[in-house]
Amino acid sequence: MQLLQDITPSAVTSDEFPILAEPPLKTDQEINGFESLGVMVAEAPYRVPGKLHLSQIESLLSARASAAEDHLWALREDPEYFCHVVLEAKDHRQENLEDTAGKAHPVFRIGQQDTFWTRILGSVISEAYLEQEVFSELSTQAKELVALQTKYASQIVPSKDLPKEYEDALLRFRFYVNQMAKGPLGVLKMKAPASPPLQKFFAREPPVNPYSSKIRTMYKPGVKKNKLDTVTVAA
């Protein structure tokens, strides 16, 4: 078998068939807008899914509801776990912060420490029950959405409105998720300044009266946030 049968040996080495330059490497973003396969694979887990995978959402919420229930039972049945959670909550209370005058919170005065522990225990127990109720409700709604998605699978098309029952369930679920998210965000904003590694960067305003539970925190002078919203000491 001969290769290049239509080309004579003399023509192969002539200028008629010049040696071509090596093609350049392709960039991650092609001119036509399609990304390289490697980039697409790497970014796939972080892209908005093309299809609403309600079964995965339901699975995650069910697992979270189960974890919240286990946490609640552990608080009740396991003294060591209860002690660990309570002490962790104690370390993240804003009462631990000094006020702008460098004074300790009134709850640490003699005869007032019971108030401090009452607040800690109240927050631990209420947060545990609230998490269990919230995630159980979201899990139940997600299961209903999975069933409705299957029920109306043949009617769900981009060119038509969603079936009324399915649309109402989706809107209700979105509302609950948005409202639920406010709780953890509020807890994070409250506990982050009081966390032991960050306490030195924050101070609190003196309370209006010694028995007030309202606390307002602020950054100490010389401390600022960078672009990543992390607390750094100013140079």
Give the amino acid at 88.
Answer: E
Q: What is the DSSP letter of 48?
A: P
Domain boundaries, given as residue ranges, for the chain: 54-154+161-196
Q: Which H/E stretch holds residue 223?
A: strand 223-225
Is the confidence at residue 12, as pLDDT, over 60? yes
Query: 43-52, 106-115, 154-163, 181-190 — which is least confidently predicted?
Result: 43-52
CA angle 70, 76, 79 (to 5 degrees): 105
What is the pTM assigned to this prediction? 0.69
Distance CA 212, CA 119 (A): 12
Count of beta carbons in the 10 Å neighbourhood of residue 112: 13
Query: 1-15, 41-55, 65-79, 87-101 — which is least confidently predicted?
Result: 1-15
Distance CA 122, CA 78 (A): 18
Is the confidence at residue 234, as pLDDT, over 90? no
| 115: region left, alpha or beta (phi > 0 left; psi from -120 to 50 alpha) | alpha
CA angle 104, 105, 108 (to 5 degrees): 90
**In contact, 128 and 77? CB cutoff 8 Å:** no
Q: For residue 116, how many C-alpha atoms fall within 13 Å in the half-sphere facing its CB?
A: 19
Instruction: Specify the higher pLDDT residue, 75 or 15.
Output: 75
Is the confidence at residue 207, as pLDDT, over 90? no
Distance CA 106, CA 97 (A): 11
Is the confidence at residue 13, as pLDDT, over 90? no
* pLDDT band, very low/low/confident/very high, at 233 (cuts 50, 70, 90): very low
